[in-house]
Structure 1
Amino acid sequence: MTLTSAPPKAKLVRAIEVWRCDDSGQRLTLASGAYGDDDELRSGSESMSFCLGEGLPGMAWRDRSPVVMHDLQAGEFLRAELAERVGLSSGIAVPCLHRQQVAGVVTFLCDHGQDAEGAFEVWRRNQRDELALSGSYYANLDRFGLISQYVKFPKRAGLPGKVWSEQSPKLVGNLGSSKEFMRAAGARAEGLNAALGLPIFSSPLEIDSVVCLLSSARSPIASVIEVWTPAEPDDEGTDSLTLRSAFYGPYVDLAPAASQRRLSRGEGLAGRAWQEMAPVATDDAPAFETARGRRLSEYGLSTGLGFPVFVGERLAAVVTLIG
């Protein structure tokens, strides 16, 4: 087991949840979740359900668009008392759309205590047809957040603009020196080292917004970030996913094997999300990632999320987050 740098010292994302419609289609219920050691949060969430527009997941379901909630201990968050007891501060809900229907809502529940650093951003088109910041959560990154308020991204410019033009997730590592990240100097000063951009579509031809996850070495949103995309069918006509881009932080020895893999439906977190056509979260990533499960366990990487991105009905990519 070889690490290229020290493991993370703080934890920003305390839980990742996947909410999906029940059989009636009238309420969102918890389909899967990654809570780590937060047993109280887990047990207090398992019985919850949300109607359209209710709570953080229900708001994203209603709007079919990302929602940022800065104070989870306030009334709009239906688990406010629970959030106060376990120390949650903020959250973001991101809908997964398939054929323009909400296939699931992913919620990231955060705690910016212990000097945890990182950010979630929502960029939307303005009247000048540029992407402007419309929602954000900057954990202990006030200066970076202030600068970002004044930044705009035309199509094909910067990470949000490239996600917009390519209609697919995009991952950028080594932010402080990256020419692809227009705020590289600010990222370097704040210790941000990886950024993931996710497109959210209002229709197959129109983008609603771009969600950016900005991760730090001190408190990564995920220690492993991968983008898997559909490959050409093999000689037998079998579809698969191959790795397009990845960021492994200190766990770089995971890279060689991943770059050679072809995932079938149901294989790994990415293959499971592809199979279900919906997001999947887990507290047992090694059980999903059997080909590298032993190595993940050795590193203590247990939580995981598979998030499929569709353009209409076409699968554009599947993002995996492991931490």
Structure 2
Amino acid sequence: MALSNRDDDGLTHWVLILAFIVAGFFLVVTRDSARLRVSTPSTLDNINSPAIAVLSKPVRSLENLIFGFRDRARAFEENKALRAELQQLRESQALYDVMRMKVSRYEQILAVNTKTDLPLKKIGARAVSESDGPFVRSMLLNVGREQGVMIGNPVMSADGLIGHIINIGKTSSRVLLLGDLNSRISVMARDHESRAILAGDNLPQPKLSFVAEGAPWAAGDVVITSGDDGMLPRGLFIGEVVRGERGELRVQLGSDSQALDWVWVSPFVPITLTEDDLELDPPATTTEPG
């Protein structure tokens, strides 16, 4: 009986030893497998990178080719639109040339006198204030008869009409400003073409006089020359309508926005009667039968 117990103890001892050996074997194998799994992706990446680079070149070339075709197609469409626009501009230019020739021809046929229009020619002048002259508001210019200035010519600044020539010398001239008491010019509203007389009264803002009853004058209206008096051309900018202290209509002159230094004279020829115009046929007289 005692011998049987010793045999069992020996067998158990060898079983335990075998179990430890097997456990150690599996432990070593598991560690090697983990190391292999860690090192395998790095190795595969090193192998696949050159291959992927080589294979991606055709794909990238194809993408660039597709984008190039798209850019060319877009450029073609834009070029087509520009050609159509150019064709329209050429047609408009041709139409303009035809209309210009027609207008020129009509002027010749109708003997239209275009000399009353404001000429494109401008005579630059240096303006200085006149403190001891015969007028309260006037200026002197350093241009005169030699430069082609005439009495009645409008004098402009960059901000609008300032007055007209009233006296002229060889190399100088005098300008009567719009605010002077002696200044009277025919004006109109740019939007609704109501007429009035811009009368100076030696105040900074001249007054609108002889306003027709019911005329829609209002503050903010743009005032220009009407040309009705034949002394000034139509369309010269003057200023805007404002209300005076007593509610009267006055004009804030555009030329008062800055100090007057350099101005220009427009050699406009006023509409006047000539001696030939005055030589009219006498009215016919009738005699009653006796």
More strand per residue: 1 or 2? 1
- Normalising TM by the smaller chain, what interval? under 0.3
Which of 1 and 2 has greater Rg? 2
Higher relative contact order (CA 8 A, sep 6+): 1
TM value normalised by structure 2: 0.23
